[in-house]
Chain A
């Protein structure tokens, strides 16, 4: 069974601060995805990384995929209250299943 350890589980910060969320595994994934989920809605894809060492930027969000494709991080610069939500990492396998991390509940206070 492939597991993804996501940390921290809870993050409460002030507007303007930076933060990093981590996803680690002992298994290799063919791809790793990051999602953001609002209460009562389905997850929305933020980014997919597939190449070891890959770095992708989406405005104030920076995503990294580890060289060995076993870990990933999400860094948010100058967080805003609108960034509040549940962030999920998910590892993809060759047979189509997604393995989700435990999730990080981010709260950004104005």
Chain B
């Protein structure tokens, strides 16, 4: 089956710094990658949709300058949280559409201190 590898699994950073999260499609080409945010005991909230070679589409209320998405190749999409603040602490998950349906990464737990 299709696998999306997400790294890092967890990261702790200081306020004001930037953090990059990577999602790689290991055995397929991901034309589209979805990025979600999830707070404890809550559901997934779609942040943005990234398309290879074009600008990402952000959901309403998501700051595009704060959450930078790059999808430069068919196997790699990245989410950079810029100038992170404690309120950005959350679980971030990527997902790609494959021939088997939607495949999710294992998530990244971001803690901003």
B9 to chain A, nearest CB (A): 8
Other-chain residue from B42, B45, B101, B104 in contact with A42 (beta carbon distance below 8 A): B104
CB of A33 within 8 A of chain B?
yes
Query: How many interface contacts (CB-CB < 8 Å) are there between A and B?
Result: 49
Which of B43, B91, B101, B105 is A45 in contact with, Cβ under 8 Å? Answer: B101
A61 within 8 A of B: no
Residues of B within 8 A of A90 (CB): 102
Bound Cα distance from A53 to B106, whole angstroms? 32
Distance A98 CA – B59 CA, assembled complex (angstroms): 13
| Number of residues on chain B facing chain A (CB within 8 A) | 22
Q: Which of A40, A41, A43, A103 has the most CB of B within 10 A?
A: A43
- Residues of B that sit less than 8 Å from A by CB: 6, 9, 32, 34, 41-46, 49, 91, 93, 95, 97, 101-102, 104-107, 109
Choose among B6, B44, B93, B102 the residue that contacts A33 (Cβ–Cβ < 8 A).
B102
B113 to chain A, nearest CB (A): 19
* Partner-B contacts on A (CB < 8 A): 6, 33, 40-45, 48, 86, 88, 90, 96-103, 105
Chain B: minimal CB distance from A86 (Å): 7
CA A97 to CA B32, docked complex, whole Å: 10
* CB-defined contacts of A40 to chain B, threshold 8 Å: 9, 91, 107, 109
Tell me whether A98 and B105 are in contact in the complex, defined as CB-CB below 8 angstroms, given that A42-B6, A105-B41 are known contacts: no
